[in-house]
Chain A
Amino acid sequence: KAGVTQTPRYLIKTRGQQVTLSCSPISGHRSVSWYQQTPGQGLQFLFEYFSETQRNKGNFPGRFSGRQFSNSRSEMNVSTLELGDSALYLCASSEGLAEYNEQFFGPGTRLTVL
């Protein structure tokens, strides 16, 4: 099976712009989670989607949003970009919602905000 794919791999944006990141989960996986990774804050949970519904949400401002499509592919959007949004954004997929499930991570999208 193909792994989790994320596009694009690299992005450069300027402050105030918005950005959309895409994640395609492993075939058959219905749960998609998003994480932000920065040197200062480490790995932080953004949100999780299952069957097109947001199931969990982390402590991020409303500028961060996401959605999931019927084929389980997911997108996350960040509006009004700030310098602090520069980070590696990781997507992970899992078969279901059970807490013991293994999550498979994609290679990430590295976002740089200038």
Chain B
Amino acid sequence: AQSVTQLGSHVSVSEGALVLLRCNYSSSVPPYLFWYVQYPNQGLQLLLKYTTGATLVKGINGFEAEFKKSETSFHLTKPSAHMSDAAEYFCAVSDLRAAGNKLTFGGGTRVLVKP
């Protein structure tokens, strides 16, 4: 069975500082990987995804993530945090053995941005 681990349920960063959110996955085959963001009282919005090709993926709002197969990781970064980045972030994997859109999510990391 696939699983996703996000290290740190809460992260506090200062405005302008680096944002680093960690995601490790467990899968028998390299999965497709996603990062979603959830703002209060809203659904999830896709930040970026890795399917094939370049392992460094750029997404919306200045975020990027790097797929490292040897480390089974897909960490999310943003060079300079903005107050609007305060939200909860979810890493997810898609099961390539089950045709369809089933996603397995990590537990989420809530980001607090301090002025």
Contact = CB atoms under 8 A, between A and B. Distances in A.
Interface of A: 4, 31, 33, 35, 42-45, 48, 50, 55-56, 58, 90, 92, 94, 97, 99-108
Contact of B105 (A43, A55, A99, A101): A43
Given A42-B105, A43-B90, A105 B43 contact: yes
Interface string B42-57: 1111100101000000
Contacts of B99: 55, 97, 99
Given A99-B32, A100-B51, A92 B101 contact: yes
**Chain B interface extent, by class:** 20 to 34
A31 B100 contact: yes
A45 B107 contact: no
Contacts, number: 69
Contacts of A45: 102-104
B41 interface: yes
8 contacts: A43-B108, A48-B100, A56-B100, A56-B102, A94-B101, A99-B99, A106-B43, A107-B43
